[in-house]
Structure 1
Amino acid sequence: MWTKDGDLLVDALIEAYGAMWPWVCPRRLVTRLPALAESLHGLARQKLIGQGHTYRDRADTVYEHAAMYGAFHAARARRSWPNALPQTCPLCRAVFTAGQLNPWIIRQFGPSRWCKKCCVTARNGRSGAATPRAGGQALTALSVSMGAAPPQDFSQRPVPLDLPAEQRDAIVSAMAACPSAASLRGLLGAGSWIEVLHTTGIVPDAWRPARGTYCVAADGHPCRSLAERTIDDWLSCHGVEHQIEPAWPHHPQLNTHGHRRADWRLSDGTYVEYAGLTNEDYLAKIQAKQQLAQHTGIRLIVITPPDLANLTEVLGAWSSKIRIK
């Protein structure tokens, strides 16, 4: 079931991630080639699971393994890639190789740049006691380095790939110096993350409804989450014309009442959706949107949480300020 498009995706991942490309392949398949990802999920659910596989109740785990190792063997049969070579961590100057990094490090921090110790420290945040003022200043410093409001799970979010190397270094360094989200809530006496952002003055224009975090993008567009604001701000910053919440055309089965809306519409008619769901529900939502787009003839771009780290890869073709190679 492997396709030529799968080969092209792998080639792009090898160029970006080198020898560590298999670790990011499963999630990229979901966002770039959802039909192929769904086929692999079908294999997991219908065949491997049905044969009493070790992970018979964990279709997502079987998919993860199939997408990594299946893609690895398919690629190995047609090409090679460079070995991981020694490099110097720009934060602590330690010498290491990409092969010493865990899969989660590659998925969160991107192509090998920082050593394992620095990545683990950035993931865990500052340990030990801190004052409310120091904690607030550390979070503000992280916000400045990111150029956005840090989400509550900032310690687990992918570090953006489409930023200058110096800024990415600053983000990882700030993550390592910042207390965890739970510690910050305790230090500042805040009952929620949005209260933390209010107290520090990072997001004065947001409030917490029953679901989501309503806030306002730089161009004045209302957003239902900080992730949506990140995307909207990227579009504005890169000169991409966009309309919010365009209606999907009517469809007798997929949009019976005509109430379904996308998140954005670009100037050429492309629809953009942000999908924060995961696992089976997430794949089902992608499939439903892809079906509606196919039936209505609309080009659809689906953005997921890992894509927030590299929006240029997803949306750069529409930017008037980026020259895509």
Structure 2
Amino acid sequence: MQSMFFSDAETDKDQTFLDEAWNILLGGDIKSTMSFLSKRSSYGDYFDDNARVSETIRVTEFFLSYDFNEIENVPAKHLKELSQLVAWRRVTRNGDCFGHETQPYAPLIGTGARFNLDIKKMYREMYGPGDLPNGTTSWNPVQDSKEISLWPELRILSKYPMSVREVLLLCVGNLSNSGLIVLEEDFVSETRLLLECFSILSGENIIDTHPNPEQKLMLFTVKELRQFAADNNVRVFGAKHRIAEEIVSHVNPKKLNSFIKTIFSGLCLQILIDNCRLFKNHIRDQTHLLDSYITWLENVQVLGQKVYVSSPSYPDPNTDLTPRHGFDSEYSRQYLIDPFWSEEVRSVREIWDPGCDLIIRELCEKYQWFAGLYIEDAIRDYLPKPILKAFDLECIKGGFSGSILSKYGEARVVELGIKFRIEDVLNCRNCEKQFLPTSVTPYVVKRVDGKVLFCDSCYNQAFLSDLRSDLGLDKNKMLDQLLELSNILEAVPTYSFVKRPMLINVPIEKQVEIVCALAKFPPADSFKSTFGSWLKALILAGVLDDGTMKGPLGIRCLALDGHECLSMAEKTVDDWMYSNGIPHEKEFMYPDHPKYNPSGRLRADWRVENFLIEYAGLLDMPDYAATMETKKSLSVASGFELIVLGPEDILNLAKPLGVLLRGKGS
């Protein structure tokens, strides 16, 4: 295996040091193959404020595929250790705050575990004195078949420097049909790793241990796939996965394998480092983090086999119950007088008038400590658009930070001496745990319009559907819960509501019922994967007595073959094709076209071989009629024959659709 190439090493000693670090990665128990894909932008800003222009570190974007010879036989002990590593890394990155977009990442280890961390002590060890998070965080991973992190055995970690371990192990995993794509978003951002072989528990069948050709093709860009298809005389259209399917179906396997090898080849990855000093400092910092991890690992308690916790797999911090009296006054005063922010503050003051002060006073009176969440939008709604446009342009030219109206507004609250009442310590209406309203995620606060009744953990379970485990769900219980939620809402629950609830203007007691029900509700997507669609689940649960659901443009219902239709007329057409034995594809994606379909989002109601069929029932609406004309032009440009049906055709579909019956003896 070739070694990594560095450029502009400060000394021969530096070059040797860096080469050795890379050679360690290539040795040991991991067989690595790498391939160069494309050059990325500079990441020097992440390392040193003085390195923003000349002293930069440029990292090549790459795929890294591993071959773990013994990964399927990894002892359970090591898998537990890996879960601890993930939990620890999330804490070191975020303190006692965990963003919902990074969770859950609990490996499928077959156990529940509780990891107790002394956050304050850990941060003191890693970063020295200063303002650091307080309290202890509990991490409760549960089995989750949708979002997992899988890592090599910890016994090989000692062979690698911490900088290498960061790229190999301390990443965030996302499961996709392309395999396990890992995004490293620390100092070397935008790095993508493809783990070609990885450990999964037997019997789960979550993903194949070896990606098939279609999964590998998903790693290419759409442009690359289309060019390859054209070179091999394969007609492709639609989304990337459809293009991959067509290529696999029609291209000679030898040619296909040769194409795939352009990524899965043994070419060496080249990383260009323009400042070795910064790179070495980064390695030292990461080594210090590893020392803290080893110390922390000794204090981890595993609860035992088959222990499942009721909460989802994200942390439940023991919140500091010291009430807030308002915004951070010291920071706000510093913001207004610090020369570093002077241009930014000057720009805001030029457009700030007494009306803005009145707005922030009203917001503080209504929302108290949450006023800062509403300042930006309220001021933008108040100021004239020409002034805002000029202000935004100045912000772009000046490189000012985001949401500066909100930041200045909070500082202005302190400057005006606006007072808040002392924050109350509340009892969660679900788990009865004590908490402070300001500990709740801002995303949730805005969705309940500042009327906080539950702790952050319970709100996250209710409002962030993707975080709830869908492992071992009982179909009948799922339907019972869906019917119960419908009764609480006194309305048909929509998929979007269960996915991301909005409870503004909902009475307090009704909010309590809804949140308590959603906190134990299965993930919204699990209804689609279990029953085929949200509509089917509603029908099976008995929420829709007549099997239909009113939508903005018609009545949603199911055809005889299970296709979801957006109107009764669509159902009639679909049922006619089904009854006449005509295979048909519902909601077919039109081919991309630079003029007629640049977004690639246009769909046809049905596709039958080379025919596209549209039911046009709303031609009296100008936008709808214009879209239909676009589809006609797009069909001609794409080589399809378009059949447009109207309400007048429903009673005699054999006439416009008779062409579909050719060759069927009719």
TM-score tier, shorter chain, comes to 0.5 to 0.7
Q: 1:14 to 1:113 in 2, by over 3 A?
A: farther
Other-structure match for 2:399:
52
The correspondence for 1:168, drawn from 511, 516, 530, is 511
Q: 1:139 to 1:70 in 2, by over 3 A?
A: farther
Q: Give the length in aligned residue pairs.
A: 203
Give how far 1:27 is off: 4.2
- Aligned mates of 1:260, 1:28 — CA distance in 2: 34
Bigger mean CA deviation after superposition, 180-189 or 80-89:
80-89
Q: Within the alignment, does 1:141 sit opposite 2:479 as a pair? A: no
Other-structure match for 2:453:
113
- Aligned mates of 1:167, 1:72 — CA distance in 2: 33
- Aligned mates of 1:53, 1:178 — CA distance in 2: 42
The correspondence for 2:426, drawn from 76, 82, 87, is 87
Other-structure match for 2:370:
20
Give how far 1:98 is off: 1.9
- Aligned mates of 1:181, 1:104 — CA distance in 2: 19
Deviations 1:249-281 (A, max 9, x none): xxxxxxxxxx899xxxxxxxxxxxxxxxxxxxx
Other-structure match for 1:290:
none
Other-structure match for 2:543:
202
Please list every run of 5 or more consecutive structure 2 residues that lacks an aligned counterpart in the other structure.
1-350, 557-565, 567-620, 624-666
SS of the residue corresponding to residue 16 of structure 1 reads helix
- Aligned mates of 1:25, 1:148 — CA distance in 2: 33
- Aligned mates of 1:7, 1:141 — CA distance in 2: 46
Deviations 1:36-61 (A, max 9, x none): 578446523x011112346xxxxxxx
Normalized per residue, which structure has more helix? 1
Q: 1:99 to 1:134 in 2, by over 3 A?
A: same
Q: Is the 8 A contact 2:363 2:371 kept in 1?
A: yes
Letter in 2 for 1:186: S
Other-structure match for 1:303:
none
Q: Is the 8 A contact 1:145 1:170 kept in 2?
A: yes
The correspondence for 1:43, drawn from 367, 385, 391, is 391
Deviations 1:186-222 (A, max 9, x none): 22222xx3444344343554367xxx66359xxxxxx
Other-structure match for 1:220:
none
SS of the residue corresponding to residue 494 of structure 2 reads coil
- Aligned mates of 1:133, 1:158 — CA distance in 2: 23
Q: 1:141 to 1:71 in 2, by over 3 A?
A: farther
Q: Within the alignment, does 1:122 sit opposite 2:469 as a pair? A: no
Q: Within the alignment, does 1:186 sit opposite 2:547 as a pair? A: no
Letter in 1 for 2:528: R
- Aligned mates of 2:405, 2:501 — CA distance in 1: 20
Q: Is the 8 A contact 2:499 2:523 kept in 1?
A: no
Q: Is the 8 A contact 1:122 1:176 kept in 2?
A: yes
Give how far 1:28 is off: 4.8
Other-structure match for 1:221:
none
SS of the residue corresponding to residue 503 of structure 2 reads coil
- Aligned mates of 2:385, 2:543 — CA distance in 1: 38
Other-structure match for 1:311:
none
Bigger mean CA deviation after superposition, 75-84 or 166-175:
75-84
The correspondence for 1:96, drawn from 426, 430, 435, is 435
Letter in 1 for 2:412: A
Structure 1 length-normalised TM: 0.53
Deviations 1:44-92 (A, max 9, x none): 3x011112346xxxxxxx3xx1242122223333322224231111111
The correspondence for 1:214, drawn from 536, 539, 554, is 554
Q: Within the alignment, does 1:2 sit opposite 2:352 as a pair? A: yes
Normalized per residue, which structure has more strand? 2
Q: Is the 8 A contact 1:108 1:157 kept in 2?
A: no
Which structure has the bigger radius of gyration? 2
Other-structure match for 1:76:
414
Letter in 2 for 1:88: N
SS of the residue corresponding to residue 431 of structure 2 reads coil
Give how far 1:105 is off: 2.4
Deviations 1:1-26 (A, max 9, x none): 23455444434433332212211333
Q: 1:12 to 1:53 in 2, by over 3 A?
A: closer
- Aligned mates of 1:19, 1:37 — CA distance in 2: 28
- Aligned mates of 2:415, 2:520 — CA distance in 1: 44
Q: Is the 8 A contact 2:499 2:524 kept in 1?
A: no
- Aligned mates of 1:116, 1:185 — CA distance in 2: 27
Q: Is the 8 A contact 1:110 1:159 kept in 2?
A: no
SS of the residue corresponding to residue 120 of structure 1 reads helix
Deviations 1:154-187 (A, max 9, x none): 2454542323321101111111121112101122
SS of the residue corresponding to residue 93 of structure 1 reads coil
SS of the residue corresponding to residue 206 of structure 1 reads strand
Deviations 1:133-161 (A, max 9, x none): 21122222223323333332324545423
What are the within-5 Å matches in structure 2 for residues 59-70 of structure 1?
62=402, 65-70=403-408
